[in-house]
Structure 1
């Protein structure tokens, strides 16, 4: 008799920050055989309660069928792959597939793809959109690029991670999609800050304006799940101004290389830099609201109103003054 049981890949995970921890947990909760490594082991330890094992170094994950990486910068990604005890360091054979979910430049991605190819490891660029709460709610979005065969090989794992998975083609196309996405993320947040301050200075509470916006054709899942932070001034970080600045730098560099003018992006980049320069580096990038209010002579206070973020069943307060 033949065993028709489908192969269940052995998976490794590198990087368990806010996003990585939530994403890795979705795999463990789906029954995946998962080994994890994080520079600060305590941040990965909660996954052991969900069936994951801790790895002493990235190098120890080389025997895995698939390894995911989700880290903050290109420099960190290169270090965990090619630095001391890195996943690809000092070996002629790496894991079967490396899936990188970080936001890095197309050039850095191509360089790491080549390093993987030298070791017989297939490489998929797979950056994501969302925050840890969106991951838990099954609302993460993922865009992937690389060989179609590699994509199909890991697609079941990708669908365990994300509510929507988009294949963008060969090479590094997913990187440009994610960079363009994050430019819009910053521009929309600045637009929300400007219009909310305009409405409030004219006597309209933020929750009323944003509630109307979210229920209109201009609303989106993003404007809805950013509304609690803007209404109640809760800047618990999901994505910091420093990381957003990094992505705007990537976007402006890509635009120069492709000769594409980005005037709105350039203006927003200066406002993001102002947030960083003012010391608001460890809070959520929604602090753009505070900077806009200060420039408008408006002192903000939390409205302490329960509002729907689109991800939970929290009761809505309505949009009345």
Structure 2
């Protein structure tokens, strides 16, 4: 397929690489053009503007936040009005997904397809994709999704539903990290090794990938380089809070993890992984 890919951060460059390797004709655009060099060496084409990347069948975006995506869609030489189907993999607000659905309905169309998985999963083509939109539009993306992910979850024909699922999942990741960090801190203060606690937990009732992946990061204090930077995690928790406000849903645990993210950023800087809230728990206990 002839596709465009916009946004070449850690996740985007891995996803675009897998699309190229799967044999697709990929045109890329990134605000910092130099990041495209490894992809150009693999056969990708560099677009001069976002609009130039959206002249094929599909244009996929993987951007940091609402503002970045709005610039790509609505800015000068943006993709609005282009013929390509816009597939957004970004973690964005429900409100922006609704706006994009309304504004791009008469263009190539819009599908929201945020992903679960850190950069190593993206590099391995093993992301989980949550897709929402018209069935025929998602059908057109099947081969593309197969190149970047291991499973696709269709969650309805309203694109913003996928974003609500993604935000809910990211909140649960943060809640899992917080609970593990607190449990490890308690155990360590009582003389139990953190690694031993993790082995027991993941070998019994908590064998899910989120506990194994983030449990190892917490045990090893492996917060740099960040696989997912804390400011992006804070952005996501703010988007969860906005959705909760709109839907009048109390989320008291959200307040705890959001405050701990703010503390981690203030104490350790913006380049730490969002799992660095584990440091906040340890410091609070005097460790």
Q: TM-score, normalised by structure 2?
A: 0.95
Partner residue, 2:75: 83
CA contact (8 A) 1:12 1:36 kept: yes
Matches within 5 A, 1:1-321: 9-88=1-80, 93-118=81-106, 120-171=107-158, 172-235=160-223, 236-298=225-287
Deviation at 1:279, TM superposition (A): 4.4
Q: Is the 8 A contact 1:61 1:95 kept in 2?
A: no
SS of the aligned residue for 2:176 comes to helix
Aligned with 1:13: secondary structure?
A: strand
Secondary structure at the residue paired with 1:95?
A: coil
In structure 2, what is the Cα distance between the partners aligned to 1:22 and 1:35?
14
Structure 2 stretches of 5 or more lacking a match?
A: none
Q: Is the 8 A contact 2:117 2:128 kept in 1?
A: yes
The DSSP-based 3-state class of the residue aligned with 1:243 is helix
Q: Could you tell me how far 1:251 is from its partner in structure 2? A: 1.0
TM-superposed CA distance for 1:41, in Å, is 1.2
Q: Secondary structure at the match of 1:278?
A: helix
Q: CA RMSD in A?
A: 1.4
CA distance in 2, matches of 1:87, 1:148: 22
Give the whole-Å Cα distance in 2 for the aligned partners of 1:237 and 1:95: 36
Give distance in 1, aligned partners of 2:2 and 2:248: 43
Contact kept in structure 2, 1:94 and 1:116, CA below 8 Å: no
Give the drift of 1:227. 3.2
Q: Which structure shows the higher helix fraction?
A: 2
Q: Residue 11 of structure 1: SS of its match in structure 2?
A: strand
C-alpha separation between the residues in 2 aligned to 1:192 and 1:287? 12
Deviation at 1:138, TM superposition (A): 3.4
Q: Deviations over 1:174-226 (max 9, x none)?
A: 01000100110111111111111111122222221112222222121112122
Cα distance in 2 for partners of 1:217, 1:50 equals 44
- 2 CA distance for matches of 1:52 and 1:238? 25
How far does the alpha carbon of each residue in 1:8-34 deviate from its partner, in whole angstroms, 9 at most, with x for none?
x20100001011111111111111111
With structure 1 as the length reference, what TM-score do the two structures score? 0.85
For structure 1, the residue ranges without an aligned partner over 5 or more in a row are 1-8, 299-321
Stretch moving more, 21-30 or 215-224: 215-224
Cα shift readout 1:106-138 (whole Å, capped 9, x = no counterpart) = 1111112222224x2111000011111012233
